[in-house]
Amino acid sequence: MMRKPMILLLLIVMVISLAGCWSRVELNDVAIVTATAVDLTKDHKIQLSLQVMKIKMTKGTIENGASSGNATLLFSEKGETIMDAYRVLRKKVSRELIFSHNRVIIIGDDLARSGLSAILDFFSRHREARGNTYMMTTKGEARDLLKAAPIFESFSAEDVREEEKARPIETASIRDYVYRLLEAGIEPVMSQIQIMPLSDQQVQESKVSGGFLGLVGLGVFHRDRLVGWLNGQEAECVLWLSNKMKSSIVTARFPDPKSSGKVSMQVAKSKANFQSKVDGDRIRFDVDIHMEGELFENTTKWSVKDVHNLKKFEQSFGKEVEKRVLQTVEKLKKQYKSDIVGFGSILHRQHKELWNDKWADQWDQEFPNIEVSVKADVKLSGTGRVNDSMFWKENELKK
């Protein structure tokens, strides 16, 4: 009979002991890190810069629609290692630094070229660092980018994260970068972010302080070291080959000596298929790209009412895609010698035994020698709200 009361008493004691909040941290005792910048100084030390949210300012800023340049603070310090600089920073900030809301990590190119092992080690070990935090690189000092004012969001780090989520170019989180670093047959890559001027006048006067943060290309890595850059168009080609494209624009010149003009399409779908072939020591990749999109601009005299003309437009787009992709692949092969597309991974999947026997340990030397052919099949699913161009008379159009 005494068993039930004893069990009930034991349960009550257990519930009471578990109801405590001994590890709680109040909001007014923390400093929330929204973005991190890491640079290499001239005396070869690590410069750690943190963008920290002002808790009291955020609500008023959002409600009033005012500029949120005052919604964050920038703390910066240098040390022998990231942890050493972080230790000094903690002495400057009266609150506990929290990294669980860190949106992005921006790395200056000097540090990126020297190697990222220290950064990866720190953020892999830190208990609050999240694996889905975006990693980016920039030409110049990363610290300067944290000073840029936000455009659409309450602070600039959120602007950058939203642009990364839209995936205009290849993105890389901490998890993605580490996966590519450890995976055989593929090299890491990062988005390139820069301060973009708001107007042509700022470009002429070099007043970048009033600009915004924008993604302009890709940083190409060999293992953990930055080796070069791809511009925006080249970065788009990497998306096409990786089957990660969400939206893209292709413009082609129509090959007609009697009617100069260009056509532009918005790509809605893109799919790349790879087929590897091995003949002795020769490795060849046949890449088939299938695209579908809508014609958005036609400055030629050719009528889009004619099916044959649409076929010619599709062929022009296909040739343009083939040219751009081949130029990008050649740049990766000859100039950077870095396989960020993952040709090695494809070869590993399709010829596993040959890969393990011959190329697993020497793909870096073999990659520049591979042969790549590209064939693009483009289909136009629509021509917009009008058929023929309104700038040409009916008798001037070619049908």
Residue 185 reports pLDDT greater than 70: yes
Of 363 and 72, the structure prediction assigns the larger pLDDT to 363
* Least confident residue range of 150-154, 228-232, 395-399: 395-399
Question: Tell me: the pLDDT tens digits for 58-87?
Answer: 444 443 333 345 688 899 999 999 999 999
- What does the alpha-carbon distance between residue 391 and residue 41 come to, in Å, rounded to a whole number? 57
Q: Domain coordinates of the chain in residue numbers?
A: 240-399
Residue type, 172: A
Please give the CATH number for the structural domain made up of 240-399.
Answer: 3.30.300.210
Mean pLDDT of 344-370: 94
CA 204 to chain centroid, in Å, comes to 28
- Identify which of 185, 110, 183, 103 has the alpha carbon closest to the alpha carbon of residue 140: 110
* Least confident residue range of 39-43, 221-225, 246-250, 316-320: 246-250
Of 15 and 50, the structure prediction assigns the larger pLDDT to 50
Q: How far is CA 312 from CA 28, 196, 276, 303, 379, in A?
A: 65, 37, 30, 11, 11
- Identify which of 213, 387, 394 has the alpha carbon closest to the alpha carbon of residue 306: 387
The DSSP code for 358 is: I
